[in-house]
Amino acid sequence: MKESEIDSYPIILTAIEISEILKISKPTAYELMNRHDFPLIKIGRCKRVLRDEFFLWLSNH
């Protein structure tokens, strides 16, 4: 993915945006977010991920 495409996403990603990026379902995105090595941020019950950390994690997998 090009850097300009990456920058078009918000700084903090939701499961919906992750599912769009990876072309997977929303429930599958939540499963991915539950992995121990995923760079997850929990705010109460909300699950989020920083865009740059997500793409770094993705490039390493």
2-46 pLDDT per residue, tens: 777 888 899 999 999 999 999 999 999 999 999 999 999 999 999
5 token code pair:
């495409």
Could you give the CA distance from residue 1 to residue 59 in angstroms, rounded to a whole number?
10
Q: 């909300």: which residue's tokens?
A: 46
Could you give the CA distance from residue 42 to residue 61 in angstroms, rounded to a whole number?
22
Burial (CB count <10 Å: 0-12, 13-18, 19+), residue 14: middle
- Predicted model pTM: 0.86
